[in-house]
Amino acid sequence: MTGDTKFDLWYLFALAGAVLIGAVLPVLPTGAAVSAGAVLASHSNPIGLVGVLIAGAAGAYIGDLIVYAGCRFGGERLAKRIGWLRDNASLDALRERLADHEISVLLTSRLIPGGRVPVLLAAGLAGYKWERFALVDLFASSLWAAVYMAIGLLGYALFDEPWQGVVAAIVLVILTTVVSSLVQRARRKRSDPE
């Protein structure tokens, strides 16, 4: 692959759509898609980085609103049917943390792999105010997109060819996810009484 990768408006629409779908059905690596978009934009149209940030944040934001609405209005029955609700003890703990540190919990839940859906579920089932959620999640989604875009820019800085930068960005996202999961697991082990 040469450095003349095509980056245009259709890519941004596809990116926003992929992130939205991944936010509603958390099976797609949406962070890696934003990172790859940052690499491609940097190689062909650096002004497109603004578009990557907006597309990533918008897809994440709309997806979060959909999940929150499902949790808020569908309740526990919908959450159990979809498979979002498995462990009531951790959900109760999340409700308490959300009540004590609502903004920081909502902001960081978007950045911690696997942390977003349980927090959205706890907020929805606890009746967290819709307007407040929408405002805080706007910042959380934007921060999330900026972090994954920065990972992509690191991949761009390390390699000359777009495909190498995309691979590097994806590897960095996977490493970040694995390290974060290991840290969370270690914290849980330390906090769980034997």
User: What are the tens digits of pLDDT across the range 80-120?
Assistant: 666 655 555 566 666 677 777 777 777 777 877 777 877 78
**Token pair of 117 as six digits:** 């859906």
Q: Is the pLDDT of residue 190 over 80?
A: no
Cα–Cα distance for residue pair 150/155, rounded to 1 Å: 9
Residue-level pLDDT at 184: 61
Q: Is the pLDDT of residue 6 over 60?
A: no
Residue-level pLDDT at 187: 65
Per residue in 79-117, is it b (16+ CB within 10 Å) or e — as a string? beebebbeeeeebeebbeebeeebeebbbebbbebebbb
Residue-level pLDDT at 158: 74
Name the more confident of 69 and 194: 69
Instruction: Please choose, from the candidates 51, 18, 52, the residue with its C-alpha nearest in 3D space to the C-alpha of residue 37.
Output: 52
Instruction: Please choose, from the candidates 167, 159, 169, 160, the residue with its C-alpha nearest in 3D space to the C-alpha of residue 34.
Output: 169
Cα angle 35-44-140, degrees, rounded to a multiple of 5? 30
Instruction: Please return the burial class of 73, using the count of CB atoms within 10 Å of its CB with bins 0-12, 13-18 and 19+.
Output: exposed
Mean pLDDT of 10-26: 87
**Token pair of 190 as six digits:** 């330390």
Residue-level pLDDT at 125: 75
Residue-level pLDDT at 4: 44
Domain ranges in the chain? 9-187
DSSP per residue over 147-171, as a string? Answer: HHHHHHHHHHHH-SSHHHHHHHHHH
Residue-level pLDDT at 1: 36
pTM, whole model, 2 decimals? 0.75
Query: pLDDT by residue (tens digit) across 23-74?
Result: 888 776 788 888 888 888 877 777 788 899 999 999 999 999 998 888 887 7
Query: pLDDT by residue (tens digit) across 125-183?
Result: 777 888 988 998 999 999 999 988 888 888 777 777 767 766 776 676 667 666 666 66
Assign 3-class secondary structure to 78-136: HHHHHCCCCCHHHHHHHHHHHHHCHHHHHHHHCCCCCCHHHHHHHHHHCCCCHHHHHHH
